[in-house]
């Protein structure tokens, strides 16, 4: 068993630090990633422009304007919001 380990270690020498490089494949992968990020950022910028134009055209509600509909949860004075489940207290 030890002979197999010694043989494996002796037949696979470590390369020098100067001989280890990323190569052209690594450069191509890095370049493809950079190109992909550029296209994604351009698409994101276009979508933001469309949203901004739609907001200026009045497609979206103004978030700072008061709501025209009354808040039914606050009107009953219970203070319960629909996001939290009711709690039951036993006396």
Tokens found for residue 30: 């890095």
Q: What is the pLDDT of residues 7-39, one digit of tens each?
A: 777 776 777 777 777 789 999 999 999 999 999
pTM: 0.47
CB contact set of 60 (below 8 Å; sequence gap of 6+): 54
Q: What is the mean pLDDT of residues 57-69?
A: 71
Tokens found for residue 86: 């009711």
Higher pLDDT, 77 or 48: 48
| Contact criterion met (CB below 8 Å) for 54 and 60 | yes
- Does 1 score more than 80 pLDDT? no
- Does 40 score more than 90 pLDDT? yes
- Does 72 score more than 60 pLDDT? no
């Amino acid at each position: 068993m030890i002979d197999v380990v010694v043989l494996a270690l002796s037949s696979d020498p470590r390369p020098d630090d100067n001989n280890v490089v990323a190569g052209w494949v690594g450069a191509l992968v890095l370049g493809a990633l950079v190109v992909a990020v550029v296209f994604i950022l351009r698409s994101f910028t276009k979508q933001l422009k469309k949203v901004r134009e739609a907001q200026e055209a009045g497609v979206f509600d103004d978030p700072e304007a008061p709501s025209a509909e009354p808040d039914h949860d606050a009107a009953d004075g219970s203070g319960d919001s629909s996001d939290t489940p009711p709690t039951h207290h036993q006396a």
